[in-house]
A and B are shown apart, each in its own frame.
Chain A
């Protein structure tokens, strides 16, 4: 079974600064997807960024980028120019890319606080 570990229960950053959230995972598969989801106080899950394991290039979405280290099984999220609206819980998630409609495996989350 796959596991996802987020070792930072809470992180705090000044507005406009850069912050990096950590995630490690364990799997015996070679092909899979990794995700970062944002959950604001409304509790709606919002997809931030997605990485396909077979792609060496790190995914980026505007101010959000990842550092994907496949050999180390590490998948960190960097948020540049932090904004007050970035304050939320952030979850790292894993999905096998094999056949079938498998569900996501989530980490326990990191609470991101943005200091004005």
Chain B
């Protein structure tokens, strides 16, 4: 099956720990994105990557880091510097030629206590 996978669906961590969220796609898409969703809010862009080994900060990048070593993978690390890490995190990808069509993964719910 072609698509975007995010694992796990639910993740729990203690405050002060870094945690890495997985995002994998087998759609051969060039661009990948990370969004954060809080209750009662729309999605906000954290980071995006147009090609391998390149990525750009989005609107709320503070306290997060990413890597893009492979075309199909775009992991997001939530660091201890992120003040309010509890949220729903969504990964997306788009073909370079059809950048306007973004396909979303199922999301990961992160809870930090």
- Chain A: residues with CB nearer than 8 A to chain B? 4, 9, 33, 42-47, 50, 52, 91, 93, 95, 97, 100-109
Contact = CB atoms under 8 A, between A and B. Distances in A.
6 nearest CB pairs, A to B: A106-B42, A103-B45, A101-B31, A101-B50, A45-B104, A33-B100
Contacts of B30: 101
Given A91-B42, A109-B42, A104 B102 contact: yes
B101 A104 contact: no
B100 A97 contact: yes
B42 A103 contact: no
Most buried by A among B94, B100, B104: B100
Interface of B: 30-31, 33, 35, 40-45, 48-50, 56, 58-59, 88, 90, 92, 94, 96, 99-104, 106-107
Given A43-B107, A50-B101, A104-B35, 8 more contacts: A44-B104, A45-B92, A46-B104, A101-B48, A101-B94, A104-B102, A108-B41, A109-B40
A103 B100 contact: no
